[in-house]
Structures are given as structure tokens and as C-alpha cells.
Chains A and B, each alone.
Chain A
Amino acid sequence: MSEPISALNHASYEGIVKVEECGLQGMITLRGDLSDKVLAKAVKDATSQKVPGQREALVNGDTGVCWMSTDELLVLVPYAEVEAKLAAMANALSGTHALAVNVSDARAVFRISGASAREAVGKLAPVELSTEAFQPGQIRRSRLAQVAGAFWMDDAETFRVVCFRSAADYVFKLLKVAAQPGSEVGFY
């Protein structure tokens, strides 16, 4: 078995904020009826979190669950556990109209940390990122310049950005430009 390596293998850049590729992250796309009790229990067993409400992200480190749409969740688990968690989930959902798929190797994850983190992300996504509008615990699916991406905040100065693995290099370059020294805007 070959050794799995993340898209940019922990590349990092330090500017007005620190941009890091987070390495491997287990991710399961779960689609189904989000009000279903069986589905809620499967999510609870995998992540010990409840089913998130609209645009909620209940994430603790590399485990958690994010609301992606009215019938889709993104379940985050440690990369090493993804196969076991997925099997348990598929087993629990076998009698339900639901679908769980391992998408870990189709994605890349970045961490943006620093006092200007809101600015760096705000330069790339058409999203209101003021402290009143966007807070830790929320997720937003949007675009990062020309590619789709989603992000949430781990704390007041840290963003986590998820994009497709095929676009990882593009997104990293975008984030590097957004984090260039001297490029603070001072808006947020």
C-alpha cells in the first residue's frame, strides 16, 4: 500500500497571516434526510456531535460535522479512522434512504491564522465577514476567486478552508497573494 500524502504536503507561507496546508483530513459526505433519527444517531456515533442546523459547523480539531445544504452534511474524522467510521455509518444507515461516501482524498484543507485572517479570506470570497455576520460555529460555502470552496472559523483568528484537491495549488497561491506582507486593508 502506498503512503497517502496530502495535496501540498503541509506547505506553508507566512505573511500578514499564516497559511498552512493542514495535511490529511478524513471527510465523509453524508446525504439524506437531516431530520431522520437514524441519520442523527450515525452522526453522533461518528463525531459525538448533533446534526448541525442551517450553516452550522460543529467542529473540534479534526472531528466534527458541517452543514452543507438542506440534505447534505460534511462529516470530519481523523484520516486514519475514516474507513472504520464510514463502515459503521453505512451499516447504521443501511435501512435508510441516505448515502455516505469517503471523499478524504478528493479534498484539501488549509488553515489561515492571524489577526488579519478575516481580511485574507475576505479578499477572495464574496462573503460578508464582519464579526457581526460571521462567527466561529458557522460555515459558508462560496467561491475562492474562481473555484468552489467552503470555510469556517476555529476561533476568532483562525479560518479553515476546504477546497477540491485538484484546485489545492491554485487556492494556496491565492491565499499567498492575499497574505502578502504589507497588504493589510484594515477593513475588518
Chain B
Amino acid sequence: MLILNCPYCGVDAEETELAAGGEAHLKRFGPGSSEDEFHDYLFMRENPKGVHFERWRHSNGCGKWFHAARCTQTLEVFGTYSAQTTEPPKEIREAISAKRPGWAWREYE
């Protein structure tokens, strides 16, 4: 069972209280972008075994979206953070580096 701490209401919410929102920090390519960019934006997703960044919504709770950094292999949660950011914050990346030296996810490491 995955338990994530909601950064808005501060509760440790378990999986059934949350709704998964897919990969985090996507850059949108909309009108005016090339077909390749739009294709990649729509369909190409990370599918790592290890460190992963995701969006979650505390749907049966405060209703807010937030980000989570976790390991897909062990379900270890490295941290959760606000949705109002376009990249993983420094303290989250340091927390991951402490436990998974040499990790990489998209352009972040």
C-alpha cells in the first residue's frame, strides 16, 4: 500500500484516498508545435524501474493536486511537494541522491 503525505492538508493519505495523475513535469506542446513534439507530448512517457516523479490528487480529501517522488521498484517514497513548480525542488533531489546515488530521470539527476 502506497502512503503519501499530502503537502496541503498534511495527512498521510493512503492510496485509496488519492487519484493518480500520471507523469510529473510534462511540458505541453500545443498549437504551433511540430507533429513530432506533439506526438511525444501526448504519448511518450517515462516508465522507469526506480526513481519516478508523479502527479497525484488528494481526491477524497482536500482535493488538491501535488507531486510525489517515489521508487517504482520498492514503493519507497522520497517525498511529496507542491504542484506549483515546474521541476523537482532541491531538497527532494537531495533526498533521492542520499538513497539512490547516481539516479537519473529525464533531464534531472
The residues of A with any CB-CB pair to B shorter than 8 Å are 54-55, 68-70, 72, 126-128, 140-143, 148
What string of 1s and 0s marks CB contacts (under 8 Å) between B9-32 and chain A? Answer: 111111011000000000000000
Closest-CB distance, B41 to chain A (whole angstroms): 30
The answer to whether B16 and A55 have CB atoms under 8 Å apart is no
Interface size, chain B (Cβ < 8 Å): 14
Task: Point out which of A55, A69, A148 has the most chain B C-beta atoms below 10 A from its C-beta.
Answer: A69
**Known interface pairs A55-B11, A126-B14, A126-B17; A68-B62 also in contact (CB < 8 Å):** yes
Closest-CB distance, B67 to chain A (whole angstroms): 16
Of the candidates B9, B13, B14, the one whose C-beta lies within 8 Å of that of A69 is B9
**Known interface pairs A143-B16, A143-B17; A148-B60 also in contact (CB < 8 Å):** yes
Chain B residues contacting A140 (CB-CB under 8 Å) are 11
Offer 24 A-B interface pairs, CB within 8 angstroms, sorted by A: A54-B9, A54-B10, A55-B9, A55-B10, A55-B11, A68-B62, A69-B8, A69-B9, A69-B62, A69-B63, A70-B8, A70-B62, A70-B64, A126-B13, A126-B14, A126-B17, A128-B12, A140-B11, A141-B9, A141-B61, A142-B17, A142-B61, A143-B17, A148-B60
Closest-CB distance, A71 to chain B (whole angstroms): 9
